[in-house]
C-alpha cells in the first residue's frame, strides 16, 4: 500500500434548534434534487435515448433554482446539492459497470438523511467546525482525537432513525501503516450456529444481536402501530423503534469491527468464501438470521482493513465443496447431510464439519496465491449443491 490512507472519523454532535432546522431543510433539498435529476435522466433515456451526465444535471439545477416552484433550493448551501448530483453519477457508473442495480428514488421516510460538504462549504479551525449557512460551530463530542495537523477534505452530516446526529470527517490518517509481515495464514468459514470457524480450530460465537433485541423491537413496533398516523405520539413511537434498531446495529458493528481487526493484525493471508449473500437472503427462512450475522459487512471490513495494513484477502469459489472434502487425504464424500457435524473419512481422519471446511478453504486459497490455481473443477458435486448453499438451506437452530 502506498500513500496515506483517507479515513472517515465519525462523531456524534448536538445541534442547536437553528442548526437542526437548517440541516433538516438541507436534507430535504438534497433528496429533492437527487430525485429530480434521476427522473430527468430516466426520461431522457426512455424517450430520446439520450444519456445525461453530471454536467447536464448541474445545468438543470441552475435552471430549477430560477423557477418559482423550486426557488427554495436557494435557501440552502449549493455544495450538498452538487454533491447529490455527483453521487447520482456514481450510482449510474456502478449500474453501467454491472456492480449495482438501477438507481432508485430517495424516500422521505426510509432513505438515509445526509448532506455532504466540501472544503468550500465549511470552515475548520482548531477543532471547530462551522458549516455553510451557519454562524455557530457544531457541538461535537470528540470520542477520539483526529490525526495531528490534518484538515478534513469533506464533511458529511447525517441523522439516523433514532434521531441521533452524526458528522463524518474525511481525513488523511498518517498513523495507518502496513503492519510487520506475518507468516500466518487462516481459512475462515462463516455460519449461523458459529459466526466464524477458523482453520486453526477456533470458533467465534454468533451473538445474534437481533434475536436478543427482538422482544423490545416487537413491543416498540406494536406501540407504533397503535398510534394515529400523523400524530406527535406516532412520531415519538417511531423514534423508539429507531432507537431499538440503532442499538442492535451498533452492537453488531462493534462486534464485527473487533473480530476483523484482530484477524487482520494476527494473519498475513486471510482466505474466505466468495459468498453470494444477496441470493442467500432470498431464502425467507434464513434472511433474518443471515442479515443479523452481517456476513456482507464482515467481508467489507476485512477487505479495507487488509488493504490498510498490508494484508492479503483471498476469496475462493463459492462452489468449492469444502464441507465434503477430507482435509487430510482430499477424498470427496458422496453425501454430507446437514445434521452431520462430525464425520470420519475412509482414511481414518475424524473431522469437525466446520473446521474441516475452514481448512479446505485455506488450502484452496493458498493454491490460488502460489500458482494461480482455480477452485472450480469440482463445481458439479454429488447432490448438486455447494457447502455454502447447503448452509443457506439449513434452518437457524
Active-site annotation holds for 22: no
| DSSP one-letter string for 91-160 | HHHHHHTTSS----PPPTTTSPEEEEEEGGGEEEETTEEEETT-SS---EE-SSPPPTT---SEEEEEE-
Q: Is the distance from CB of 33 to CB of 79 less than 8 angstroms?
A: no
Burial class (CB in 10 A: 0-12, 13-18, 19+), 195: buried
CA separation for the pair 44, 355 (Å, rounded): 54
pLDDT tens, position by position, 201-226: 999 999 999 999 999 999 999 999 99
pLDDT, average across residues 297-313? 94
The question of whether 189 is a catalytic residue gets the answer yes
Name 110's Cβ contacts closer than 8 Å, sequence gap at least 6: none
Task: Tell me whether residue 149 is exposed, middle or buried, using C-beta atoms within 10 angstroms of its C-beta: 0 to 12, 13 to 18, 19 or more.
Answer: exposed
Catalytic residue among 113, 273, 292, 317: 273
Domains of the chain: 5-173 (no CATH), 185-208+251-393 (3.30.420)
Catalytic residue among 160, 210, 292, 354: 354
pTM over 0.95: no
What would the mean pLDDT of 172-196 be, rounded to a whole number? 92
Give pLDDT tens digits for 360-371. Answer: 999 999 887 766
Where residue 336 falls among pLDDT bands split at 50, 70, 90? confident
Query: Does 69 participate in catalysis according to the annotation?
Result: no
Per-residue model confidence (pLDDT) at position 340? 85
Average of pLDDT values for 226-239? 94
pLDDT band for position 373 (cuts 50, 70, 90)? low
Among the listed residues 22, 189, 292, 317, the single catalytic one is 189
pLDDT band at 376 (very low <50, low <70, confident <90, very high): very low
The C-alpha R_g of the chain, in whole angstroms, comes to 25
Say which range, 73-87, 288-302, 332-346, has the weakest mean pLDDT. 332-346
Amino acid at each position: 500500500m502506498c500513500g496515506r490512507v483517507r479515513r472517515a472519523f465519525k462523531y456524534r454532535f448536538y445541534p442547536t434548534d437553528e442548526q437542526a432546522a437548517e440541516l433538516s431543510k438541507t436534507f430535504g433539498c438534497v433528496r429533492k434534487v437527487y430525485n429530480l435529476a434521476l427522473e430527468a435522466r430516466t426520461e431522457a433515456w426512455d424517450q430520446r435515448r439520450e444519456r445525461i451526465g453530471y454536467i447536464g444535471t448541474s445545468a438543470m439545477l441552475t435552471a430549477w433554482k430560477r423557477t418559482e416552484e423550486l426557488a427554495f433550493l436557494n435557501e440552502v448551501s449549493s455544495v450538498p446539492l452538487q454533491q447529490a448530483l455527483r453521487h447520482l453519477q456514481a450510482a449510474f457508473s456502478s449500474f453501467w459497470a454491472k456492480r449495482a442495480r438501477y438507481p432508485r428514488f430517495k424516500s422521505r421516510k426510509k432513505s438515509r438523511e445526509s448532506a455532504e460538504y466540501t472544503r468550500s462549504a465549511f470552515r475548520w479551525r482548531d477543532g471547530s467546525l462551522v458549516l455553510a449557512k451557519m454562524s455557530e460551530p457544531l457541538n461535537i463530542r470528540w470520542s477520539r482525537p483526529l490525526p495531528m495537523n490534518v484538515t478534513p477534505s469533506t464533511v458529511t452530516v447525517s441523522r439516523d432513525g433514532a434521531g441521533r446526529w452524526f458528522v463524518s470527517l474525511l481525513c488523511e490518517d498518517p498513523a495507518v501503516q502496513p503492519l510487520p509481515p506475518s507468516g500466518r495464514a487462516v481459512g475462515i468459514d462463516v455460519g449461523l450456529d458459529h459466526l466464524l470457524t477458523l482453520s486453526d480450530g477456533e470458533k467465534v460465537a454468533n451473538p445474534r444481536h437481533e434475536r436478543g433485541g427482538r422482544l423490545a423491537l416487537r413491543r416498540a413496533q406494536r406501540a407504533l402501530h397503535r398510534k394515529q398516523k400523523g400524530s406527535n405520539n406516532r412520531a415519538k413511537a417511531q423514534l423508539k423503534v429507531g432507537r431499538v434498531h440503532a442499538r442492535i446495529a451498533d452492537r453488531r458493528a462493534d462486534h464485527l469491527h473487533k473480530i476483523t481487526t484482530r484477524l487482520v493484525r494476527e494473519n498475513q493471508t486471510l482466505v474466505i468464501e466468495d459468498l453470494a449473500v444477496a441470493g442467500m437472503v432470498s431464502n425467507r427462512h434464513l434472511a433474518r438470521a443471515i442479515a443479523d450475522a452481517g456476513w456482507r459487512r464482515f467481508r467489507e471490513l476485512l477487505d479495507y482493513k487488509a488493504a490498510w495494513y498490508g494484508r492479503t484477502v483471498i476469496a475462493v469459489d463459492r462452489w468449492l465443496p469444502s464441507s465434503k472434502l477430507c482435509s487430510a487425504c482430499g477424498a470427496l464424500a458422496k453425501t454430507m447431510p446437514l445434521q452431520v457435524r462430525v464425520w470420519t473419512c475412509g482414511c481414518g481422519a475424524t473431522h469437525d464439519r466446520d473446521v474441516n471446511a475452514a481448512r479446505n478453504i485455506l488450502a484452496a486459497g493458498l493454491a490460488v496465491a502460489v500458482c494461480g490455481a482455480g477452485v472450480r473443477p469440482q463445481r458439479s458435486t454429488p447432490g448438486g449443491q455447494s457447502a455454502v448453499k447447503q448452509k443457506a438451506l439449513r434452518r437457524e437452530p
